[in-house]
């Protein structure tokens, strides 16, 4: 029993360490090539539609790996324990992570499409500061909505989440679906905060770090749920200040 516990501990440590290494590598890539995220959005017409979209989505996926992947550690660790000694455990964990990233990649496509449409609106081009202020206020108001708290509660309960969505049959398919469901709730929890990247500059590594820390606190820290309301007030106040000063 003691030997099994030690093996389980080291396997989990290896898993967490691997996620940490992947996230750090993604942060380094963003630091080196941060403008890749910014360029396709602001130079959409010059870069060309399809190529620009895929360039943005690729960079968005790297950003997701840097900002969001660390917040999945509690759920992945619980899933690692539940699958136990099941054959192909590493593959199952990889499929769960892949399902999570696929949802965020699709979200990047939606964000890109919405942003390019907004860029073509004459009002936005003349009132970009007001648009950024509106993004802050939308993100702030969303912090108080029932959908925000429902998704946040799902993200903050990894054990009950895995028990609800892991059926143990058709292992690989269900592992991917587990990760995809987690990704959907994570998007529901954090989409409005990610929207702020378009208000402050999508290539800003400093803002990525700040928002990544905020989302990690909300999802993983014991008092993180209580943090949501003050954050909402701060974002609304920041949006109003930006609107007035802008």
Where do the structural domains in the chain lie, given as residue ranges?
2-245
Cα distances from 106 to residues 109, 122, 184, 216, in angstroms, run 5, 27, 10, 21
User: In which band, very low, low, confident or very high, does the pLDDT at 42 lie, cut at 50, 70 and 90?
Assistant: very low
For the record, the structure tokens of 179 come out as 């990760």
Closest by alpha carbon to 170, among 178, 181, 162? 178
To the nearest whole percent, how much of the chain has pLDDT over 90? 43
Per-residue exposure over 198-224, b if at least 16 CB sit within 10 Å of its own CB, e if not: bbbbbbbbeebeebbebbbbbbbeeeb
Please answer whether residues 133 and 240 qualify as being in contact, where contact means their C-beta atoms are separated by less than 8 angstroms.
Answer: yes
- Quick one: angle between helices 158-165 and 73-83, nearest 10? 50
Asked which of 80-84, 109-113, 168-172, 175-179 is least confident by mean pLDDT, the reply is: 168-172
User: Per-residue pLDDT tens for 217-236?
Assistant: 999 999 999 999 999 999 99
d(CA 7, CA 5): 5
Distance CA 89, CA 20 (A): 19
- Whole-number pLDDT of residue 34: 58
**113 token code pair:** 């499409």
For residue 78, give Cα distances in angstroms to 16, 59, 75, 82, 158: 11, 29, 5, 6, 7
More confident position, 142 or 90: 142
pLDDT of 16 higher than 60: yes
pLDDT band at 205 (very low <50, low <70, confident <90, very high): confident
Q: What digits encode the pLDDT tens for the residues 143-179? A: 999 999 999 999 999 999 999 998 777 889 999 999 9
Judge contact between 219 and 155, C-beta under 8 A.
yes
pTM: 0.86
Q: Is the pLDDT confidence value at 54 over 90?
A: no
Distance CA 70, CA 17 (A): 10
- Residue 40: which pLDDT band, with cuts at 50, 70 and 90? very low
How does the average pLDDT of the chain come out, rounded? 84
């Amino acid at each position: 029993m003691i030997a099994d516990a030690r093996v389980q501990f080291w396997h989990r440590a290896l898993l967490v360490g691997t996620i940490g290494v992947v996230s750090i590598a993604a942060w380094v890539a963003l630091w080196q090539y941060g403008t890749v995220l910014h360029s396709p959005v602001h130079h959409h017409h010059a870069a060309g539609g399809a190529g620009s979209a895929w360039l943005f989505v690729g960079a968005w996926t790297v950003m997701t790996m840097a900002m969001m992947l660390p917040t999945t550690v509690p759920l992945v660790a619980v899933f690692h324990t539940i699958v136990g000694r099941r054959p192909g455990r590493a593959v199952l964990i990889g499929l769960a992570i892949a399902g999570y990233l696929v949802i965020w990649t699709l979200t990047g496509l939606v964000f890109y499409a919405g942003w390019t449409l907004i860029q073509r609106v004459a009002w936005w081009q003349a009132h970009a500061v007001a648009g950024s202020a509106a993004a802050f206020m939308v993100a702030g108001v969303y912090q108080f909505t029932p959908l925000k708290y429902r998704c946040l509660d799902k993200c903050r309960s990894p054990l009950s989440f895995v028990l609800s969505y892991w059926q143990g049959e058709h292992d690989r398919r269900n592992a991917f679906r587990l990760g995809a469901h987690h990704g959907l709730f994570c998007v529901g929890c954090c989409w409005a905060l990610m929207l702020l990247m378009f208000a402050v500059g999508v290539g800003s590594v400093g803002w990525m770090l700040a928002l990544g820390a905020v989302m990690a606190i909300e999802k993983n820290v014991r008092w993180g749920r209580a943090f949501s309301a003050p954050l909402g007030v701060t974002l609304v106040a920041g949006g109003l200040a930006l609107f007035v000063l802008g």
